[in-house]
Amino acid sequence: MLFSIENKTALVTGGSRGIGRMIAAGFVAAGAKVYIAARKHEASEQTAAELAEVGTCIALRADLSTEDGCRALADEVAAREERLDILVNNAGATWAAPLEEFGEAAWERALSVNVKGVFHLTKFLLPKLRAAARPEDPARVINIGSIDGLRAPRLETYSYSASKAAVHMLTRHLAGKLAPEITVNAIAPGPFESKMMAETLRNFGEQIAASAPLKRIGRPDDMAGTAIFLASRAGSYLTGAVIPVDGGISTI
């Protein structure tokens, strides 16, 4: 039972595709009740229907780029559940442009979802997270950062890398504030198959895999396994950590 999350309730933002879907699928298969939330509700409903063939998955509509949007999602979860065991702040946005053309919209898009959205949603869900906390089993917040927040990327994604570095620091800050009732950790993914990475992997996937110490890109089980560890009793004594799941890329 060390890695069990059976009968826990989780919310995964951005859970309709990519890394969010990998985590949601892993949680559902492990016996958790999972809510997924995204701005594109039709895509969330389709993903929820597919995952519901395995377990319990429910789609919610959400726009996490504003404080009001975060409050609305928290209110929706509160209306449905007495407690929330696990919050995965995965929803994110990126932007790439040459330095000379990198304008305000690029910064607002990344920071509003990637940083402010993480903060506001966590803040509004604190009552439900605290309701789930037990002395030997804290509630869990898992933030999705990036190895681009650990070292400077080659692509001109200035606001994205800065926002993910901010997510890592916010994770540490919240971890100290919310202990012992709630643990707060971050996963810093490397290259995984996702819409955000699709073009990069299509053009440079083989080179990226060859340059990684483990000689491959990430698989869904790699991401799901790390999230399940953090959400289970096995990860109950870990807080304020940023865990690179990148095949060793951040070490070189």
Q: Which residues are catalytically annotated?
A: 160
Tokens standing for residue 194: 């996702």
The set of residues, in sequence order, having a beta carbon less than 8 Å from that of 1 and lying 6+ positions away, is: 233
**Cα(147)–Cα(133) distance, rounded to whole angstroms?**
30
- HSE toward the beta carbon, residue 26, CA cutoff 13 A: 25
Is the torsion defined by CA of 44, 4, 118, 83 positive or negative?
Answer: positive
**C-alpha separations of 128 from 66, 74, 175, 242 in Å:** 20, 9, 17, 24
Q: Is 212 helix (H, G, I), strand (E, B) or coil?
A: coil
Residue 69 and residue 62 in contact, taking contact as beta carbons nearer than 8 Å: yes
Token pair listed for 35:
């809510």
Q: Is residue 107 within 8 Å of 32, Cβ to Cβ? A: no
Cα–Cα dist 147/232, whole Å: 24
Residue 198 φ/ψ, nearest 5 degrees:
-55, -50
What token pair was written down for 139?
């509630």
